[in-house]
Every structure is written in C-alpha cells, then in structure tokens.
Amino acid sequence: MLKPLGDRVVVKPAPEEETTSGGIVLPDTAKKKPQEGQVIAIGPGKLLDNGQRAPMSVSVGDTVIYSKYGGTEITLKTEEYVVLEEDQIMAIKPVAKAAAKAAPKAKPKPKPKRKR
C-alpha cells in the first residue's frame, strides 16, 4: 500500500453512478468525476517552520469531499486512487451512525382500583 509523505492523503474515490434515478444507463463519457471518497492512508503531517509536524485533520476511514480536479490519480493493481494534499479536502462527510438502541420503555403505572 502507499505511504503518503508530508500532508498528503490517499483517497479511494466513491464508485460513479452508472444509471440515473429514471433508469437511464450512462456511458463513460457522461459520468461525473467523483468528488467523494474514503481516506485509505495519511501522511505524518505538514512540516512547520519550527521543525514540528502539524496534526492531520482527517484520519483513515473518513469519507471526504475533495476538489473536483485536485490531486493526482494513480492506479495500483486495477484499483484507482487519488493522492491529495490536505488543503484540497473541503469537508469530512459525517458517518451515518448505527441505529441507536431503543431506550427501554418504562412500565406503565397501575391504575388505582376504585372502592365501591
């Protein structure tokens, strides 16, 4: 696997849509260039003037949105990746959390019996 240097990030682009919502199959020339992907590897961080490394804002496993024409596209063993500088990442997409556990329901209070 790749080990990026400095403030570089390796991203695996999300798969492109092959059909529209109406069911029309798109040819390769009509597909949009992906702007979203999952972070596969990160570098150690940018080297600052004082010799220290700036911490990276993203971590492995994050889903990010990046500049449309940013980075360098590479292919390793038929897998496509994009190597980006951290500055070219515009946002981290929030992860859909697993369904929250349902809180246990409180037992209803018994109704007091009436005296007759």
Asked whether residue 106 is assigned to any structural domain, the reply reads no
Asked whether residue 28 is assigned to any structural domain, the reply reads no
How would you write the pLDDT of the chain (116 residues) with one tens digit per residue?
Answer: 789 999 999 999 987 766 666 777 666 665 566 689 999 999 999 989 998 999 999 999 999 999 888 889 999 999 999 999 999 999 998 876 543 444 455 566 666 777 76
User: What was the pLDDT predicted at 19?
Assistant: 66
Asked whether residue 67 is assigned to any structural domain, the reply reads yes
CB neighbour burial string for 8-20, b if at least 16 within 10 angstroms, e if fewer: bbbbebeeeeeee
CATH number assigned to the domain comprising residue 78: 2.30.33.40
User: What was the pLDDT predicted at 113?
Assistant: 73
- Candidates 85, 35, 87, 33; CA nearest to 64 is 35
Count of domains in the chain? 1
CA dist., res. 7 & res. 63, Å (int):
17
- Candidates 66, 70, 61; CA nearest to 95 is 61
Domain that holds residue 57: 8-16+33-93
Asked whether residue 78 is assigned to any structural domain, the reply reads yes
User: What was the pLDDT predicted at 20?
Assistant: 64
Asked whether residue 113 is assigned to any structural domain, the reply reads no
CA dist., res. 32 & res. 30, Å (int):
7
Asked whether residue 65 is assigned to any structural domain, the reply reads yes
Do residues 9 and 86 make contact, with C-beta atoms less than 8 angstroms apart? yes
Contacts of residue 65, defined as CB under 8 A and 6 or more positions apart, other chains included, come to 35, 36, 89, 90, 91, 92, 93
Taking only Cα atoms into account, the Rg of the chain, rounded to an integer number of angstroms, comes to: 24
Q: What is the DSSP string of 54-66?
A: PPPS--TT-EEEE
Asked whether residue 79 is assigned to any structural domain, the reply reads yes
User: What was the pLDDT predicted at 107?
Assistant: 60
Asked whether residue 52 is assigned to any structural domain, the reply reads yes
